[in-house]
A and B are shown apart, each in its own frame.
Chain A
Amino acid sequence: MTEPTLSDWKAMYRALWRIRLFEGQVQRFAAAGEIPGFPHLSTGQEAVAVGVCTQLELEDVLFTSHRGHGHVLAKGADLEATFAEILGRATGLCGGRGGSMHLVDAVHGVLGATGVVAGNLSLAAGAAWAAQALGRRNISVVFFGDGATGAGAFHETLNLAALWHLPVLFVCENNGVAEFTTREEHSNVKFVSSFAAPYDIATKTIDGNDLPAVFAAAGEAIGTLRGGAGPYLLECMTFRMAGHYVGDSQQYRTKDELAAIREKCPIERLGRVLLARGVEQATLDALGESAKAEVLQAVERARAAPHPDPATVLDHVYRSPALAAIQG
């Protein structure tokens, strides 16, 4: 994308809210017991998703991790179908077979999410290889957390992607926490971008909560990919903002807490940037309300959707029912 207009920024602002509010609804209904399993929220990391995905074409393919709702939405997946999948309904993206951790929307190029850390880095590389081998223009993007650098697959894939010059963008959301322990306990290497140089991969570390920064860095990286320069590792420093969503802020926050949140929150920060550029608060509020209305409607429709028919449980193990039948 060329230099975005104010309109583009406002759209991205709304997109941030869309993800924030969606995750808020996931949290709400998970707490109410309506969501099976354990969804992982990307609250606070919206800027990475929106910043990168706004620079992607429809044909570009995306892989993500268990914390991938934001990426999936930012790539263009339908809100209702995504929420329905998280609820496990028949109208979900995967007919209720995948769930929160395995969202797939092939039509929009969302090719998969994995619950095994670093599990699909190599798949993203493979998708890039296919594009290269078939002479296509599209690139491949994979989102992962800093914990993935502990996996052998991370290193194997970086090595292979660089060796084969694959057009794959590795986006690391480094929120300083992997599972329940801080980065210091996972690795001596503070910044994930440090791993790029040994494999001869281009890299950059940026503030992942700064949407314009993410947008710019992503655009630059993707540009090099499309130019055939080989893989790129973009490290986005961010934070996990668990538990905060619209409507909650009036309840119990201390002034210090609120201040700290305002300092980091990508929505707050972009809002300040837009205000500084002459956008009215009311406009910002309206964008937020619009996103909220969209999310709430989609969530209600998803909650009313039918459950999957148990009779179909064995569908899609194989393409051919004959194969499944022989197996008995």
Chain B
Amino acid sequence: MTQVAQEIPKIGLVMEAVKVVRWLKAVGDAVIAGEPLLEVESEKSIVEIEAAVTGRLTEILVQVDDEVTVGVQVAWIESAEAPTAALATLSGPTAKPRTTPEPAPPQVAATTGSAARDGERIRSSPVARKLAAERGVALGTLAGTGPGGRIQLEDVRRVVDTTPPAGETLSPMRRALARAMTLSNAAIPQFNVSQSVDWTEVQFLRRELMPTLPAGTPKISVNDFLLSAVARTLMEYPELNATFSGDPDSPHARIVPSKGAHVGLVIAVDNGLLVPVIHDVERLGLADVARRREECVERALKGRLKRDEMEGATISISNLGAQGPDRFTALINPPQSAILAVGRQRECVVARDGAAVIRPQSELTLTVDHRVADGRLAAQFLARLVALLEARDWHA
């Protein structure tokens, strides 16, 4: 038996301090590695801190409303695992892959080691140990049903069926993404429509508008134009500015309209995505959109998004940028109803007034929830969006 310190892990890139909000376990409770132990509030949101090891919570070191920083010990857990093994699992939800929690290491050697060291033996049958080693199951996490509490094959099999095989366990972000995308694929009947957009006007406006903006205004990016155009189009096509709620078979199923144009922007972070939402974009001029966009992205990259900054959108924009593909189809981010995938800008040969000219273009692919809108609406929306982007009707 070893006493293992439960520390506050790094949440996001930089984390100054978090506040203890709620203990989810009490002293004396059994805890299992990965189980939520306490809640802390960060700039981003309320975050659950997971137990680093399996064992028994023996001491709580910080109270509700205490402020703690990364590395602070908040509790002691009495664990049957060897200290080194425990430390290996000591990392919580994070955005950086380097600190992604390691897979539960094959505990066989560690267990034997701890037996030699601690005098506490885990009784297990050879074939149970073999399967546990193969599948990376920590014997210490199992309850043995054999004689004298011996861990037997079926005890390992029971866990193995619900435990993922040896490999990387998921960070909370990856798990959230996986859940969301699985839900999206399973629950939302998605179709897509595509159209090219000519960036000539947008490029012109960017050059023209910049000098007129107040100092300190961030550079207006293509995404700002997209955000703005999407917002305006949403207001013109309110049927798409809604979300589907409930089971189609159920009498409680509804389409919930949104009151403003709240648009998400897909941001790539280390080992994942975040989709901050800018609310009421239809009320913002381009400069304000740019400002809001910049703030959002900065906070997102720092892992400091507030919860309401991640909710409320009916549509998101995913722009993979200059390194992206010509075109792609994005999956809708539930509970939104649509997502716009923006392919990379290319110089294309197009026909204009009977002549072949070269224009900067991208492929836009709009994925739509078919429960909310059908093809005609989607096509119209997209056409209008493109028209707006190709026009000069903009306000800074």
* In the complex, A touching B (Cβ < 8 A): no
Residues in chain B within 8 A of chain A (CB atoms): none
Residues in chain A within 8 A of chain B (CB atoms): none
